[in-house]
Amino acid sequence: MRQQFHDDGFFVLHAAVSPRDLASLRDECRRFIDDKEREMSVAGTDVLGLDQRGRRYFINDCSPRSRRLQEFVFGDLMAEVCRATLGDHVYLFNDQYVVKGTESGTSFSWHQDSGYIGYPHRPYLTCWCAVDDTNAANGAISVLPYSRAGTRDVLAHAQDSVTNDMVGYHGVDEGICLELPAGSIACFSSTLFHKSGENTTSRLRRAYVVQYSPEPILSEDRTHVRHQAVPFLRDGVRHIGYR
């Protein structure tokens, strides 16, 4: 898997999340959606930023507000994944729930996660955790291995005027659709092109996305950190920054 990550930019851990942790991911997702919908009700709207009631949710920075998520984000499994991909010095960069609503969840265009940063930085790791069984019908992600994309460099991205997505690949290759059972994790570099399809089913498609970096990712003027910069591994040993 370490070799595949180097050669192709990704690998998959099938059904690797423990039943206990998967239950936590599901329970906390419901709690954060409920909180978001209460916020919408107070504001008298069904839309807050990128979030749309019943259609889609992008709920950021969840782990600082959840001890149960911290147990997963800083647990043995994620420590092993980070050592294998990033090395012995690792920080938590970002975490979020990405939820596609029933029969309405929209697609997400080809992009590299680093394309959203917009300036030079060291590549980081994305761990896309399937909270539900995912397939082509409910919005599974597709990946484009380095050999098929023709590059492992970060390419220029342009914003789609309709969806506001940042798009970096316009080729005809549809990539590899990762149909994953719940509890699986797609681990990929921030330089890997990936996308996701629509959710055409009658059930939510929930994913928990955790990103780790080999050093804090700073703003372009280097005056502040982007998202989070929580110490996780130091010299390969867990050194967690939350208290």
Identify whether the C-beta of residue 193 lies closer than 8 Å to the C-beta of residue 143: yes
| Among 132, 147, 145, 135, residue whose Cα is nearest residue 207 | 132
pLDDT of 161: 67
Domain holding 179, by residue range, is 2-238
Q: What is the pLDDT of residues 127-155, one digit of tens each?
A: 999 999 999 999 999 999 999 999 999 88
Helix (H) or strand (E) holding 186, with range, is strand 185-189
Check pLDDT > 60 for residue 243: no
CA torsion sign, 54 to 200 to 196 to 85?
Answer: positive
- pTM attached to this predicted model: 0.92
How open is the CA angle 231-225-130, to the nearest 5 degrees?
Answer: 65
How open is the CA angle 203-204-207, to the nearest 5 degrees?
Answer: 140
Q: What is the largest CA-CA distance in the chain?
A: 51
Which CATH number belongs to the domain containing residue 30 in this structure? Answer: 2.60.120.620
pLDDT of 105: 63
**Is the residue at 121 inside a domain?**
yes
Q: DSSP 3-state assignment of 171?
A: coil
Q: Look at strands 90-100 and 230-234 and give their pairing.
A: antiparallel
Task: Name which of 3-7, 35-39, 166-170 the model is least confident about.
Answer: 166-170
Q: DSSP 3-state assignment of 64?
A: helix
Q: How many domains does the chain have?
A: 1
Q: DSSP 3-state assignment of 65?
A: helix
| Among 132, 235, 137, residue whose Cα is nearest residue 184 | 132
Which DSSP category does 9 fall into?
Answer: S
**Is the residue at 215 inside a domain?**
yes
Mean pLDDT of the chain: 92
Q: What is the pLDDT of residues 49-102, one digit of tens each?
A: 778 888 888 899 999 999 999 999 999 999 999 999 999 999 999 999 999 988
Q: What is the pLDDT of residues 150-175, one digit of tens each?
A: 999 988 888 776 666 778 878 889 99
Q: What is the pLDDT of residues 7-24, one digit of tens each?
A: 999 999 999 999 999 999
* Residue 138 β-bridge partners: 199
* Residue 238 β-bridge partners: 233
Residue percentage of the chain with pLDDT more than 70: 96
**Is the residue at 75 inside a domain?**
yes
**Is the residue at 113 inside a domain?**
yes
d(CA 12, CA 125): 13
**Is the residue at 243 inside a domain?**
no
